[in-house]
């Protein structure tokens, strides 16, 4: 499996640490983009860093965790090459990959328990994108410059 980037803010730090343990158990390479302690920090800084490393081609996918997952997704989705999805169940994780080709999984530590978060992450990593014409057409409409009618 290709390597993964992972980051959080202080509100998602403990869940990030738990997910790192799961990734190690699964033998999946990852890079922790921070933070490296639970001190207060600003979630947009880590979402923008994630977008930067994905845009540089260093990682095909990433995981962002904050208190709810919402702030991280809003900041990450400001970047044209990011399709970040806030997910709190395995079905949504699968659909985010299959139908939307999501490349960043966002979760909330205050929303999802560690066991479920591990299940969600596993589904997100194991699910390929459906590149059929209908999904490709819809994903293209998410790109900047695509007319919205």
Residue entry with tokens 């709810």: 68
Q: Is residue 66 part of a domain?
A: yes
Domain count along the chain: 1
d(CA 16, CA 115): 12
pLDDT, tens digit, for every residue of 110-119? 999 999 999 9
3-to-24, 56, 79 alpha-carbon distances in Å: 11, 14, 21
SS3 8: strand
Q: Residue 142's closest CA among 93, 97, 81?
A: 81
pLDDT, tens digit, for every residue of 25-35? 999 999 999 99
Q: Is residue 101 part of a domain?
A: yes
**What CATH number should be reported for the domain holding residue 44?**
3.40.1400.10
Q: Is residue 97 part of a domain?
A: yes
pLDDT band with cut points at 50, 70 and 90 for residue 135: low
pLDDT computed for residue 2 by the predictor: 77
Q: Is residue 115 part of a domain?
A: yes
Q: Is residue 147 part of a domain?
A: no
Bridge partners (DSSP) listed for residue 6: 32, 63
How many residues does this entry show for the chain? 149
Average pLDDT over residues 28-57: 97
71 pLDDT above the threshold of 50: yes
> What is the set of active-site residues?
66, 99
By residue range, what is the domain housing residue 120?
4-140
Q: Is residue 106 part of a domain?
A: yes
Q: What global pTM score does this model have?
A: 0.91
SS3 3: coil
> Contact 40/83 with Cβ under 8 angstroms?
no
143 pLDDT above the threshold of 90: no
Q: Is residue 65 part of a domain?
A: yes
> Contact 30/6 with Cβ under 8 angstroms?
yes
Average pLDDT over residues 11-18: 98
Q: Residue 123's closest CA among 5, 22, 13?
A: 22
Mean pLDDT of the chain: 91
């Amino acid at each position: 499996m290709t390597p993964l980037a992972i980051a959080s803010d202080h509100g998602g730090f403990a869940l990030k640490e738990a997910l790192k343990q799961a990734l190690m158990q699964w033998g999946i390479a990852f890079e922790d983009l921070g933070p490296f302690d639970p001190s207060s920090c600003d979630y947009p800084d880590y979402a923008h860093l994630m977008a930067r490393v994905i845009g540089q081609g260093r990682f095909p996918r990433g995981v962002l965790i904050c208190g709810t997952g919402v702030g991280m997704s809003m900041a990450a989705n400001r970047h044209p090459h990011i399709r970040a999805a806030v997910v709190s169940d395995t079905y949504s994780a699968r659909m985010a990959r299959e139908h939307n080709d999501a490349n960043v999984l966002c979760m909330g530590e205050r929303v999802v328990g560690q066991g479920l978060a591990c299940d969600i992450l596993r589904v997100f990593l194991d699910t390929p994108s459906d590149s059929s014409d209908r999904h490709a057409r819809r994903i293209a409409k998410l790109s900047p410059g695509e007319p919205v009618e």
